[in-house]
Chains A and B, each alone.
Chain A
Amino acid sequence: MDDGEHDGTFGMTTERKLGEVVGVNGNMVTVAFDRHVIQNEMAYVVVGETRLKAEVIRVRGEVADLQVFESSAGARVGDKVEFTGELLSVMLGPGLLTQVYDGLQNPLPELARQAGFFLRRGLYVTPLDEARPWEFTPAVKPGDSVCAGAAVGTVPEGIFRHRIMVPFGWPGHWRVTWVAAAGAYPITAAVARVSDGREERAVTMVQRWPVRVPVTAYREKLLPVETLVTQQRIVDTFFPVAKGGTFCTPGPFGAGKTVLQHALSRYSEADVVIVAACGERAGEVVEILREYPELEDPRTGRKLIDRTIIICNTSSMPVAAREASIYTSVTLAEYYRQMGLNVLLLADSTSRWAQALREMSGRLEEIPGEEAFPAYLESLIAGFYERGGLVRLHSGETGSITIGGAVSPAGGNFEEPVTQATLKVVGCFLGLSRDRANARRYPAVHPLDSWSKYPSLSDADDLAFARRILQRGHEVDQMMKVVGEEGTPLADFALYLKSEFLDAVYLQQNTFDAIDGATSAARQKASFRRVVDVLRTPFLFADKDEARSFFQRLRQLFTDANYLPMDGEKYQALDRQTAEFLTAAKKEA
């Protein structure tokens, strides 16, 4: 199980294995079986006319416990259960981009077409269009040697050349015996045949992969160092995320977790973005669903939806499918990583996933850990984030998965199990603070509590200096609460104003503004340098009122600049005005 030697079927048998329901408790169904069952095997519980998807989660003697991915209402003792012999898997192939799936990879628009306003129990639809032809270009010729994950050809999928790869679970080396000529084929057609000397297999454009097993068809994992530019200043400059890195955004409700996640999904310079809406409001997904087909991706000139896949298992959808949706998302991310792309996976929210685990654990009557979460919560969270990373593929190229998980801690208290387990395994912590949100300082990432282990875009000395100003400014602020403004020395007060200035013009960013909402790497470097110049300048003021009005004016100039395109005339004019203002101030000093 540890070196990716899977064929994706795990001992699929041709004979149909059957079982019989002997107990029902919520969405957990206990089934008596006569032959063998496989842990995490898929099964269908036949309730009247409908077949409900379920997964084996525990086996005890002659009975297996299955979690049903839908409401189990109406199930009776004695109902038939069909085991499939296959693990819970997703279908990988061209056509995944732009799709909106539920946690089990059913395309939601297609479900809506068939069932209307409501989700219909037991209705499952093939994730990919099997009739649509794709223009195949071969990349190998007979006699070539290939291994799992190697491309035998490509098809154009929106912005990319989508690689048709040897299934990830085929072990060892294979020799190409035949490859299809360039032309249009549906995804199920064979486009190549390969042989390992013992057997010959056909490669189609589609393969299945069990979601709970990481794809490991690469040469090695590398250390993530290159910054993934998110165009959010506080992130890229202060708490950067690397391509292939992991980060988390815990925060109480109303602190702007979802707005931040949306900003990251819109503005990040990733090739593919996978949004996993896991157990949160449906309304939030609707904005993505309705707006991304309209919004342009400035990097490619295409629509944002063209690089996006949405996995949508919102809070009122079945809870077991919510648990699966996290794995479905990361498996899709691994698939695109195998093509040498940089993938960003945003999971909102991993707490809802953890709660789904807790619900099932409770039904299984397992001994609970802290706050009734299962004892294995930590290892599952670690396992999930460890599926991110930067890898070198067998072809020598690199590909990465960056994982960002929102965390919704109960009561906004970070001392709870999900936040703590997450902090142990991520490389960057963007802690959202209710105080900053209440003060309308967005994004409400706390500048003193957050941290990142990845290298920043900006100069390390400048950054350390800016951090010191923030820290000292905070201390002065605390002191002022006790002794009042009158009791604060002028020098301390100026320091405090500097930290407020940095906060206002650099850390805060208006995500709803087209210009201020997205600051490119180059602009961040230039703009941060100018802010630090101000921070380093020792201004002299006659009194506190003068200091305050000076920084108010300066703040206005910098904020106005943030809202202007950098190459415009207005920006240049403002730039000159700012320079003059600063020169005048320095002279006086």
Chain B
Amino acid sequence: MKKVYHRIIQISGNVITVEAEDVPYNSLAEVATGGRVSLAQVIRLDRRRVSLQVFAGSRGISTDSEVRFLGRPMQVSASPDVLGRIFTGSGSPRDRGPRLRDDLIDIGGPSVNPARRIIPRRMIRTGIPMIDVFNSLVESQKLPIFSIPGEPYNALLARIAMQAEVDVIVIGGMGLKHDDYLFFRNTLDAHGALARSVMFIHTAADPVVECLLVPDMALAVAESFAIGGKRVLVLLTDMTNFADALKEIAVTMEQIPSNRGYPGDLYTQLAARYEKAVDFEGAGSITILAVTTMPGDDVTHPVPDNTGYITEGQYYLSGGRIDPFGSLSRLKQQVNGRTRNDHRAVMDNMIRLYADYRETREKLAMGFRMSGWDRKLLQYGERFEARMMDLSVNIPLEEALDLGWQTLAECFQPAETGIKSDLVAEYWPGGTEAATAKDGNGTTPA
């Protein structure tokens, strides 16, 4: 195979076409233009015409630029040295560290055999009550954080990264503002979490093709650590930028768009990434949390819509809090029966009462008179928001459950909570006497 070609016959968008022979599909090439070298990937073969997607973009490429075929697919280093390092979407160091050339693995590897998957069974504690108590995160789960632009989703991700009980954190940033990138780096550094993290960062100023590589790079490294027995948490932000990059490339490639300009394989493309979340029997696991910003707060927009069909629930970030109604962890039932015996009861009843509080708030806003029950709910709702929903709250699950009981006891009679009496006897602050003494008039209001 001749390696170097000099005649580029077409340049269109980020795609160049060169006449060459014996080039493997999906393999890489280096395109050299006036001293600058960029990677490119073969995306189409048509007899002698080879179309390549240039990662750094086609700007400045001349028709006699040098194209050197490498004959191998995109690879990333999965050596332990990646920990503490920061890379670009194409795998070049973004920090001042050396380029890594050990333990190179192909990105975008094959799918896990469904027959080798197991039912998820371990909870990941985050110290955030809205997650731990109400929508537990489970190892091997894939969950998006649905959010509108402006919400503190990156702050939330950074907090989860610092607090989650995992061995390795892989952060994939797509279309990240440079400020956000610095925020991630500085926060992890300040909390000593950088040493167990690896970051692949594509900023908004970088070439769009590199954005497409970020999830694959991050997940390939994660997979390698997981097979080595590590519990890996992958944080991706923002998958809507990834989808928009897909759209941009697809339109450049003159593909027929399906819905609002997105390519017809958007679902498959997203699923290929999210389905990397897995629990390897006898080895480690990959858990994925991915920010998906919803343009116009519209959950039916193609990106959140397709994501919702793929993922196992979602955290819905709204008004600076994780909204208890829009959020759902489909896997929580697998774990919250085995944490503490009051976990499910506290979860269900606190949420139900909080829903009642929301209704009362509406009545209040419409000027209806407040009953005694309404006033109890108002008191409860305010405390619930301050103690549970505020994102700065950082307490272990058990403490959060205790705080839940305390909040209930401050606001209600035991029977008004709707919690089974044996649990009330066990957990009600002040003991059973306090609970039963009040039981006389404790009817549950409608």
By a beta-carbon cutoff of 8 Å, the part of chain A in contact with chain B is 21-25, 30, 71-78, 100, 108-109, 111-112, 115-121, 252-254, 277, 279-283, 285-287, 289-290, 312, 314-317, 319, 352, 355-356, 358-359, 362, 365, 368, 371-373, 408, 410-413, 438, 548-549, 552
Q: Are A75 and B24 in contact (CB under 8 A)?
A: yes
The majority secondary structure among interface residues of chain B is: loop
Q: Are B22 and A77 in contact (CB under 8 A)?
A: yes
Chain A residues within 8 Å of B310, by CB: 281, 315
State the CA gap A117–B118 with chains docked (Å).
Answer: 11
Q: Are B25 and A111 in contact (CB under 8 A)?
A: no
Q: Are B25 and A282 in contact (CB under 8 A)?
A: no
State the CA gap A91–B115 with chains docked (Å).
Answer: 21
Considering the complex of A and B, which 10 residue pairs feature the smallest CB-CB distances, nearest first? A411-B300, A315-B271, A316-B275, A73-B26, A372-B258, A253-B308, A108-B115, A24-B45, A316-B111, A24-B25
Nearest-CB residue, chain A, relative to B273: A316
A-facing mask of B39-69, CB < 8 A → 1, else 0? 0000011111000000000000000000000
Closest chain-A Cβ to B262's Cβ sits at a distance in Å of: 10
Q: Given known contacts A71-B110, A118-B112, A315-B272, what 16 new A-B pairs fall within 8 Å (CB)?
A: A74-B26, A109-B115, A118-B109, A119-B112, A281-B312, A282-B112, A282-B117, A286-B114, A290-B119, A314-B114, A315-B267, A319-B268, A355-B265, A362-B256, A410-B300, A548-B446
Chain A residues within 8 Å of B257, by CB: 372
Q: Are A117 and B271 in contact (CB under 8 A)?
A: no
State the CA gap A285–B111 with chains docked (Å).
Answer: 15
Q: Are A76 and B23 in contact (CB under 8 A)?
A: yes
Q: A253-B309, A411-B300 are in contact. Are A77 and B21 (CB under 8 A)?
A: yes
Q: A73-B24, A254-B328, A412-B300 are in contact. Are A315 and B268 (CB under 8 A)?
A: yes
- Pick the contact of A285: B26, B45, B114, B308 (CB < 8 A): B114
State the CA gap A411–B262 with chains docked (Å).
Answer: 14
B227: CB under 8 A from chain A?
Answer: yes
Can you report 24 A-B residue pairs in the complex whose CB atoms are below 8 A from each other? A22-B47, A73-B26, A76-B24, A77-B21, A77-B45, A100-B114, A116-B116, A117-B112, A117-B227, A118-B109, A119-B110, A252-B308, A254-B308, A279-B267, A290-B118, A290-B119, A315-B271, A316-B112, A316-B276, A355-B268, A359-B264, A372-B258, A413-B300, A438-B325
By a beta-carbon cutoff of 8 Å, the part of chain B in contact with chain A is 21-27, 44-48, 73, 109-120, 227, 255-259, 263-265, 267-268, 271-272, 275-276, 280, 300-302, 305-306, 308-310, 312-313, 325, 328, 331, 446
State the CA gap A283–B310 with chains docked (Å).
Answer: 10
Q: Are B328 and A316 in contact (CB under 8 A)?
A: no
Chain A residues within 8 Å of B26, by CB: 71-74
State the CA gap A247–B139 with chains docked (Å).
Answer: 36
State the CA gap A326–B422 with chains docked (Å).
Answer: 50
Q: A73-B25, A76-B22 are in contact. Are A319 and B265 (CB under 8 A)?
A: yes
Chain A residues within 8 Å of B112, by CB: 117-119, 282, 316
Q: A77-B21, A314-B275, A410-B302 are in contact. Are A112 and B115 (CB under 8 A)?
A: yes
Q: Are B305 and A253 in contact (CB under 8 A)?
A: yes
Closest chain-A Cβ to B351's Cβ sits at a distance in Å of: 11
State the CA gap A449–B132 with chains docked (Å).
Answer: 37
Nearest-CB residue, chain B, relative to A552: B446
Nearest-CB residue, chain B, relative to A409: B305
Nearest-CB residue, chain A, relative to B120: A283
Chain A residues within 8 Å of B22, by CB: 76-78
State the CA gap A112–B114 with chains docked (Å).
Answer: 9
- Pick the contact of B264: A282, A287, A358 (CB < 8 A): A358
Nearest-CB residue, chain A, relative to B306: A410
Q: Are A72 and B113 in contact (CB under 8 A)?
A: no
Q: Are B110 and A121 in contact (CB under 8 A)?
A: yes
Chain B residues within 8 Å of A317, by CB: 111, 114
Nearest-CB residue, chain B, relative to A549: B446
Chain A residues within 8 Å of B271, by CB: 279, 315-316
Nearest-CB residue, chain B, relative to A111: B113
Closest chain-B Cβ to A416's Cβ sits at a distance in Å of: 9
Q: Are B275 and A362 in contact (CB under 8 A)?
A: no
Q: Are B119 and A287 in contact (CB under 8 A)?
A: yes
Closest chain-B Cβ to A58's Cβ sits at a distance in Å of: 15
Q: Are A112 and B116 in contact (CB under 8 A)?
A: yes
Chain B residues within 8 Å of A289, by CB: 114-115, 117
- Pick the contact of B305: A115, A359, A411 (CB < 8 A): A411
Q: Are B267 and A352 in contact (CB under 8 A)?
A: yes
State the CA gap A315–B264 with chains docked (Å).
Answer: 14
Nearest-CB residue, chain A, relative to B51: A25
Q: Are B258 and A76 in contact (CB under 8 A)?
A: no
Closest chain-A Cβ to B54's Cβ sits at a distance in Å of: 18
Chain A residues within 8 Å of B328, by CB: 254
Chain B residues within 8 Å of A410, by CB: 259, 300, 302, 305-306
Q: Are A23 and B46 in contact (CB under 8 A)?
A: yes
Q: Are A119 and B111 in contact (CB under 8 A)?
A: yes
Q: Are B27 and A117 in contact (CB under 8 A)?
A: no
State the CA gap A118–B306 with chains docked (Å).
Answer: 25
State the CA gap A411–B308 with chains docked (Å).
Answer: 10
Q: A77-B47, A315-B310 are in contact. Are A282 and B305 (CB under 8 A)?
A: no
Q: Are A315 and B24 in contact (CB under 8 A)?
A: no
State the CA gap A315–B115 with chains docked (Å).
Answer: 14
State the CA gap A279–B114 with chains docked (Å).
Answer: 12
State the CA gap A11–B222 with chains docked (Å).
Answer: 49
Chain A residues within 8 Å of B312, by CB: 281, 283
State the CA gap A100–B116 with chains docked (Å).
Answer: 12
With most chain B CB atoms within 10 A of its CB, the pick from A74, A253, A317, A352 is A253
Q: Are B275 and A115 in contact (CB under 8 A)?
A: no
Q: A77-B22, A359-B265 are in contact. Are A316 and B113 (CB under 8 A)?
A: no
Closest chain-B Cβ to A77's Cβ sits at a distance in Å of: 5
Closest chain-B Cβ to A202's Cβ sits at a distance in Å of: 34
Q: A352-B267, A358-B264, A552-B446 are in contact. Are A286 and B25 (CB under 8 A)?
A: no
Q: Are A76 and B45 in contact (CB under 8 A)?
A: yes
Chain B residues within 8 Å of A121, by CB: 110
State the CA gap A286–B255 with chains docked (Å).
Answer: 35
Closest chain-A Cβ to B372's Cβ sits at a distance in Å of: 16
Q: Are B300 and A286 in contact (CB under 8 A)?
A: no
Chain B residues within 8 Å of A286, by CB: 114, 117-119
Closest chain-B Cβ to A325's Cβ sits at a distance in Å of: 12
Closest chain-B Cβ to A62's Cβ sits at a distance in Å of: 12
State the CA gap A391–B304 with chains docked (Å).
Answer: 43
Chain A residues within 8 Å of B73, by CB: 73-74
Closest chain-A Cβ to B176's Cβ sits at a distance in Å of: 25
Q: Are B113 and A112 in contact (CB under 8 A)?
A: yes
State the CA gap A409–B325 with chains docked (Å).
Answer: 22
- Pick the contact of A281: B109, B113, B255, B275 (CB < 8 A): B275
State the CA gap A358–B119 with chains docked (Å).
Answer: 32
- Pick the contact of B115: A100, A254, A352 (CB < 8 A): A100
Nearest-CB residue, chain B, relative to A289: B115
Q: Are B309 and A372 in contact (CB under 8 A)?
A: no
Chain A residues within 8 Å of B301, by CB: 411
State the CA gap A254–B120 with chains docked (Å).
Answer: 19
Q: A76-B24, A254-B328, A372-B264 are in contact. Are A315 and B446 (CB under 8 A)?
A: no
Chain A residues within 8 Å of B116, by CB: 112, 116-117
Q: Are A371 and B115 in contact (CB under 8 A)?
A: no
Chain A residues within 8 Å of B24, by CB: 73-76
State the CA gap A290–B446 with chains docked (Å).
Answer: 42
